[in-house]
Amino acid sequence: MVSDKRKRVVVGMSGGVDSSAAAALLLEQGFEVIGVTLKLWPQDCVNRAEDKCCGPQAVMDARAVCHRLNIPYYLVDEAEEFQRLVIRYFADEYKAGRTPNPCVMCNEHLKFGNLLRKARALGADYVATGHYARVQRDEASGRYLLLRGRDLRKDQSYFLFSLRQAQLAHIIFPLGEQTKEDSREVARERQLKTAAKEESMEICFVPDRDYGRFLRISGLVSPHRGDIVDMEGRKLGEHEGIEFFTIGQRKGLRISHPTPLYVVGLDAAKNRVIVGGAENLEHSELTVERCNWIPFEQPSRTLEVTAKIRYNHPGAAAIVEACENGTATVRFREPQRAITPGQACVFYQGDVVVGGGWIRG
């Protein structure tokens, strides 16, 4: 925790209980707090839930919390940047046969990129959010470390692995030591409007979890027929676009087969969905690219880590070997199911996030 309590901090206000509790805690710790909501969608946005992704209700709730706390509140239009940095990336990854992780990109470029620059323009030293994670400075190396949140059920450090030292040095996570119920209690005790607000576990711009429908009705992807083939290249059926499939998927294949089939590969060049049995989903090795290392610039040796290949993956023992051009090889002690190109693979040693990268196809 930052010791100088006279510092000014901008809190990213989503209209939820977590950011509300974060603002309240920082105010009581003596910080000068400013609330900011990033408006990420235009008014005519596609398929936006009214209470999510800076919808009208979320903005009203964030403003009401700031009014209750008697702190300044600003609504900042970032719709153009969100479209360019997150939505376009989201569609392009699916078109390339990869499964994107828009939350990581939004954190890196908007919440701790553009918002940090806005904070500096307001004379603020820090940006804070309601993420369940921790930042600590290692006195020996002088580097800032990213750690899991104390409440492992809510830990969000996976989505923050790509943050750089220049960002981590100016970030505060007030909820890092708390549980979700602790945060609700903070909001209840202070009579904040968001105290009982329902939590969302969805991608903010795909509130019904149907990302394929979002891609279609937003005009980002048009159906284009291709073949569904087995591991030997034999045609088993047809599809309307590889964008509507992801590794490990079983439903929606519309193929009659004596044994269960799963998506085991996506061939963007040939517009093919490749299917196989459950055994074809098991792999012991992967390559990541665009690695970000946090405790050091580059590991000097192989590392023993716990690696998570998706957010809800429990993590598995692995050996990581850093290679050239920002890549690394990850070798698991036991085969892992449905390793998915485009997803983040994040490395931990205990609670410390060592780094991570993007799974190469």
Looking at the DSSP bridge assignments, the partners of residue 286 are 330
Bridge-based pairing state of the strands 352-359 and 344-349: antiparallel
Could you give the CA distance from residue 2 to residue 31 in angstroms, rounded to a whole number?
A: 10
**Cβ-based neighbour number of residue 261 at 10 Å:** 21
Distance CA 36, CA 39 (A): 9
Q: How many angstroms separate the CA atoms of 18 and 75, rounded?
A: 18
Residue 204 bears catalytic tag:
yes
Would you state the torsion angle of the CA atoms of residues 108, 114, 116, 120, taken in this order, to the nearest 10 degrees?
160
CA 204-208-214 angle, to 5 degrees, is 80
The CA R_g of the chain, rounded to the nearest whole Å, is 22
Identify the active-site residue in 53, 66, 103, 204. 204
Yes or no: say if 54 and 40 are a contact pair by the CB < 8 Å rule. yes
Report how many helices (DSSP H) and strands (DSSP E) the chain contains, helices first. Answer: 9, 17
Burial letters 7-18, b for 16+ CB under 10 A, else e: bebbbbbbbbbb
41: helix, strand or coil: coil
Where would I find the beta strands (DSSP E) of the chain? 8-12, 32-39, 73-77, 126-128, 133-137, 144-148, 171-172, 226-229, 235-239, 262-267, 272-276, 282-293, 303-308, 316-322, 328-337, 344-349, 352-359
By the 10 Å C-beta count (0-12 exposed, 13-18 middle, 19+ buried), 278 is classed as middle
Catalytic residue among 106, 291, 323, 345: 106
Residue 162: DSSP 8-state: T
The residues annotated as belonging to the active site are 106, 204
